[in-house]
Amino acid sequence: MQRHLRIAAIVWVPLLACPAVLLFAPHVAADQPNSVPKYARPPKWPKDVVDTFFPDATAKLVGSRPDYGKTTAVAVTSQAAGETSAAASTEGGWSKLIDADTIETEIKRIAQQLNKKVSAPAQFKGGGYKDCRRDFSVLAALFAVTAEYEAEVRWKDAAPQLRNEFGRAGHNCKVGTDQTFQEAKQRKQDLADLVGGTRPKSSSAADVKAEWSQVADRPPLMQRLNIAQQDRLTKWLASKQEFSTHRDDVKHEAQLVATFAEIIARPGFEYADDDTYLGYARDLTKNETEIAAAAESDNYDQARQALGNASKTCAACHEGYRQ
């Protein structure tokens, strides 16, 4: 009898220590509901592997646990309807792509920029309106995200109205005229008041959910995306020293790119019905999210690799699609 027990122990202990057996043979546990499971000792990982992960993942996650069965059903339905939009990547919320602090910081930075750009009609008409178009469009997109943000974020209550007002200003600033200059001055003042603590006067009720194709045009969002990708991230990831100096900026810009890549793949935007284009948008969102995570964990090599993948994605997309 003892000999039989020893043989059983020799056979079963390695199997219980192997997670793959448990995954591919769930019927074993079902057939033996009263058995006491045995586990192998946890492995000892080297420091470079441990530092890749958050000490406590729950501290970084927002919202309730996902219902994976429900998510699968939605995905199948969307594909059956021909909806392969990259919007599925943020089905659980915008916080997966961009932090509330990043949104607030970018809005404040644009407020400072507008103080210089919207100062005199001649400057505005001479080309300043183009910069205003980009800045107002970015603001409209960020306020649209703020309105739908599933976690706490500043100015959320006023975001739907601000989204509409800055979106309209962005559309109108395609030309530099006396009328668009006056509108730009008013929006600049509204933004300064907002950052200073004054809420805008409510003119009309606005839906929280955005009609994304009406929020902003694709070209000005692509301009801001290119500034982040080509002028900033490429420079700050050129060396480990630059990366260490600009880690917070790298995270900020990468989150913006990931968010804009998601937005321009929403229904209503140009090329949003093109599966190849949507594939590029999904890839870019993924690459930039990896860059932001690498900046958070101070992993230069991972950030460089993700930037290389993002650059390849952008180059491939630009060959077939233009702003």
Q: Considering just the CA atoms, what is the radius of gyration of the chain in Å?
A: 25
User: How high is the pLDDT of residue 115?
Assistant: 86
pLDDT along the chain (323 residues), means of 10: 46 44 42 53 60 60 53 36 40 86 97 90 93 97 96 94 96 96 96 92 80 92 95 97 97 98 91 92 96 98 97 90 68
Name the maximum alpha-carbon separation found in the chain: 99
pLDDT of residue 199: 84
End-to-end CA distance of the chain: 78
Per DSSP, which regions of the chain are E strands?
Answer: none
> What's the confidence (pLDDT) of residue 206?
84
What superfamily in CATH does domain 217-320 come from? Cytochrome c/b562 (1.20.120.10)
CA distances from 283 to 116, 263, 303 (A): 36, 13, 15
Ranges of each domain in the chain: 96-214, 217-320
Q: State the pTM of this model.
A: 0.72
